[in-house]
Amino acid sequence: MFAPKKKTRNPELRNQRKSFDLLTMAANVSSHYHVDLLVKEKRNLEEYENGDRHRQINNVISSPSSVLPPENGNGGIGLKLDINGGKGVTSNGGLSVSVPATPSLPPVISGWYADVSSLSPGEARFYEVEKVLFHGKSKYQELLVFQSKKHGKVAILDGSLQLTERDEFAYQEMLTHLPLCSIPHPKKVLLVGGGDGGILREISRHNSVEQIDICEIDEMIIDAYKKFFPDIAVGYKDPRVQVYIDNGIAFLKKIPEGTYDAIILDAFVEMGKHAVELADNDVLRSIAKALRPGGVVAIPSNNPWSIDSSMEAIILKCQNIFGGSVNYAWTTVPSYNNGTMGFLLCSTKGPKVDFKNPINPLNPNHFGVAEGPSKFYNSEIHAAAFCLPSFAKIATGSEVA
């Protein structure tokens, strides 16, 4: 896990550009330097590997290896932190560079986390890191948690930014309340994925709900969020919550027909390889079957700035599979790609669901296990979420008003 990244510098590039020798040397110097630090400081990182927890001593200042999936073929864009010796020095006093094998990826900056997404090429978002808090690898995925300078704690799953404390509530609240506020008195709700607990926290605001089931594949996620994100994992404290540690796909297949009023699928491409599997057609059919007639499902989707005409096909597919209403919505989540997140809302054949006009508003006096009323969601922003820029209306097959 802590091996230095493979140096896959492009020799052709180097030949064409002899004048870079000095820079290359500089890069090598800092790269080697880093490797030394990593070896020395490995003991300082709290680890969670292959299901075995073991707490490491001392403060946590170290450097996980690349967190990008290997198919990107790069030598390691990710996080590099320097040792600060526990003296209160900020982590950005030193510098390091590292030669990316793929020219379109930016080099590593010491003390900053580089968020690079295939959905936003030619762009990288850097977050200043104060301290790495956790770096764990289960048999399913790799989780990195760091304290950022200005965005609260940040969680990175398999190399993709999963959430920041600064804006997680926008995503969690919209993904939960868009479906639950669209149907009368939801009673049985299933969450697939969402091991962080934030969606549970939001479901908890709904008094009508009697049963909250969550199926999460990876116990490490639950443990890490309970420890490092108590305000998010607070959702687990709701006594209606029943946790199933299981593969979401297998779990969905076992559900008796018509069991749930609402299902929330907290998984999308950027959430790692297990999320991709979850968005499969068969899975959508399993969800449709598990819902009662006129039941609803919410699924994260591409953001409005990255959708294209294939979105219309996806909507048509969902209409076929679910048989009721299908709508695309979006909202602002600054730390996600293009600062936005898309949602697909589908209902099964049965009592008609009008997602654009919520009939079951949140009661601001019922917090459930949350600390206070919702910070983002309200009935106005619910309705507004279905209003799209003209280019996105065209991509989703709607007429431009």
Q: Which residues are catalytic?
A: 266
- The residues pairing with 299 across neighbouring beta strands, listed in sequence order, are 344
Nearest one of 186, 21, 9 to 107, comparing CA atoms? 9
Amino acid in position 98: S
Task: Tell me the closest approach of the beta carbon of residue 191 to a second copy, in angstroms.
Answer: 22
> β-strand 260-266 against 112-115: which pairing, if any?
unpaired
Instruction: Measure the CA dihedral 168/174/180/182, to 10°.
Output: 170
Stretch that binds a second copy, among 45-53, 131-139, 228-236, 393-401 (CB under 8 A): 393-401
Task: Tell me the closest approach of the beta carbon of residue 61 to a second copy, in angstroms.
Answer: 12
Mask: binding to a second copy, 143-162, rule CB under 8 A, as x and -? -----xxxx-----------
Considering only 1, 23, 313, 359, the residue that binds a second copy (CB under 8 A) is: 23
What is the C-alpha to C-alpha distance for residues 19 and 17, in angstroms, rounded to an integer? 5
Q: Which is nearer to a second copy, 215 or 341 (CB)?
A: 341
What is 269-336 written as a DSSP string? GGG-HHHHHHTSHHHHHHHHHHEEEEEEEEEEE--TTT--THHHHHHHHHHHHHEEEEEEEEEE-TTS
Stretch that binds a second copy, among 17-25, 232-240, 265-273, 293-301 (CB under 8 A): 17-25
Which tokens is 23 given? 């820079």
Subset of residues 59 to 88 that bind a second copy, contact rule: CB under 8 A: 82-85, 87
Q: Which is nearer to a second copy, 187 or 366 (CB)?
A: 366
Task: Tell me the closest approach of the beta carbon of residue 391 to a second copy, in angstroms.
Answer: 5
Task: Tell me the closest approach of the beta carbon of residue 211 to a second copy, in angstroms.
Answer: 27
Task: Tell me the closest approach of the beta carbon of residue 1 to a second copy, in angstroms.
Answer: 23
How many angstroms separate the Cα of 194 from the Cα of each of 23, 159, 200, 321? 44, 17, 8, 23
Stretch that binds a second copy, among 48-56, 116-124, 230-238, 254-262 (CB under 8 A): 116-124
What is the C-alpha to C-alpha distance for residues 172 and 49, in angstroms, rounded to an integer? 28
Subset of residues 95 to 114 that bind a second copy, contact rule: CB under 8 A: 95-97, 99-100, 103-104, 106-107, 109-110, 112
Q: Which is nearer to a second copy, 350 or 373 (CB)?
A: 373
Task: Tell me the closest approach of the beta carbon of residue 385 to a second copy, in angstroms.
Answer: 8
What is 18-40 written as a DSSP string? GGGHHHHHHHHHHHHHHHHHHHH
Task: Tell me the closest approach of the beta carbon of residue 163 to a second copy, in angstroms.
Answer: 15
Stretch that binds a second copy, among 20-28, 135-143, 232-240, 320-328 (CB under 8 A): 20-28
Q: Who contacts 175 (Cβ-Cβ below 8 Å, separation ≥6)? A: 199, 202, 264, 266, 298, 300, 343
Considering only 11, 22, 52, 55, the residue that binds a second copy (CB under 8 A) is: 22
Q: Who contacts 311 (Cβ-Cβ below 8 Å, separation ≥6)? A: 301, 302, 328, 395, 396, 397
What is the C-alpha to C-alpha distance for residues 201 and 190, in angstroms, rounded to an integer? 13
Subset of residues 350 to 369 that bind a second copy, contact rule: CB under 8 A: 361, 364
Stretch that binds a second copy, among 22-30, 227-235, 290-298, 309-317 (CB under 8 A): 22-30
Subset of residues 244 to 273 that bind a second copy, contact rule: CB under 8 A: none
Reduce the DSSP state of residue 10 to 3 states and report it.
coil
Q: Which is nearer to a second copy, 58 or 126 (CB)?
A: 126
Q: Residues touching a second copy: how many (CB under 8 A)?
A: 81
Decide if residue 211 touches a second copy (CB under 8 A): no
Subset of residues 119 to 138 that bind a second copy, contact rule: CB under 8 A: 120-128
Q: Which is nearer to a second copy, 168 or 218 (CB)?
A: 168
What is the C-alpha to C-alpha distance for residues 307 and 394, in angstroms, rounded to an integer? 10
Decide if residue 393 touches a second copy (CB under 8 A): yes
Amino acid in position 11: P
Subset of residues 302 to 341 that bind a second copy, contact rule: CB under 8 A: 304-305, 330, 332, 334, 338-340
Nearest one of 228, 231, 210, 211 to 220, comparing CA atoms? 228
Which tokens is 91 given? 């982590």
